[in-house]
Structure 1
Amino acid sequence: MFEEFYPLRLQDNSEVENLLTPDYTGEQVSLRSPANEVMTDFTLTSPVTVSEDVQVDDALERMKSQHVRMLFVTTEADKFIGVITARDISGTKAMVHMNSCGVSRQEVLVRDIMLNKASLRSLTFDQVRHSRIGDVMLTLKSSGDQHLLVVDETDLGIKRIRGVVSASDISRKLKVGFDIMYEAKSFADIEKIVAQGSEMSL
């Protein structure tokens, strides 16, 4: 029955000291690195979603458990309708809805304070694939967005959310605060800041 299989030789781990993490690529990420290095690609990792009918504090707990600051909001039929961020829940949005609708916090649902997909901006996957981190960073800076969706299209013309690019992911990859980069006056200044941040992390 097991003739086509064979046991593998097991290894000794006494000399192994390092753990590989997803951020480790062996190369230093810079503003000129391909933009897809800072894109969360949903062909590689599943998007973290939440139903529009979930109470907002439950949604926040889901973010914490999944180590994300944004959830993709879906209907009962699993159709994408928007996003909700930790800032939306922890900020004034919930309070404004409570006051305007005369409801308690326990009655505030994700759909009440989420950002509808019509209000979101995106890049195409081709744009990301042919651009650099610096291009996307300046796009975020000029738009004022914290997240940009990445959309692709099937051979049948069906558009899909392929991934997301966030300011926080760029900041983490470059090891420099995004707000610090915002203060730079030129691209050369930004490169200098990124280079200094890289040296400090060594």
Structure 2
Amino acid sequence: MMKKQTNKLSFWLVGCLVMLGLSFAACNPGGDDNHTLTPEQQQQAYQQARGNYAGKLFFSRLDATNGNIVKDSSAIRWEINTDSTLIIKAFPMRLFAEYVNDNALKAALRNAPDQDIKCFTYYYHLNPVGFLISPVSPVFTLNYGGQDHKISIAFFIRNSYSFGVLNRARLSQMQIIAASLQVDAMSSTYLKKSVGFVFQGNGSR
């Protein structure tokens, strides 16, 4: 039953990411050499993108009562204040409780503190503005099972499915994908599968 539920979750996520990609097909970072920008063009792209953003973080979870997929969202903010970084503010780490099987870890994650996530950016498209996103792994401590544990979450980096776009109306959409959740630097991951998160928001200077 758990495998079936996880597959349902994955299918919904794929659909969500496909829709995001279709919305900005002209900005797809799929390896087109024509999308390589000069340093001057990258600065132009950054100048268009810089600012503070507020909007929604979209994700999916399983309804424990019936096993159905529930599409949900949470308020989120992010900042673009340098030409090579983006900061996601107060990302709700509790969301990862939905994607692990270990009951003790799941319970601890539900009370995990929010974390800022620093991301490196690489601008590859000017009109509309497009950039690859490489999140730096957030690391934090949770206490469960009678002791402290170091939690580290790794995301896909410089990946064609981890990117952001911005139109002239300063509407931005982004997606990042978590690849693994490690406890105490162990090599195995506690995530059932890779997990995608979709952002949509408006920017201001």
TM-score, normalised with respect to structure 2: 0.26
Which has the larger share of strand?
2
**Structure showing greater Rg:** 1
Which has the larger share of helix?
1
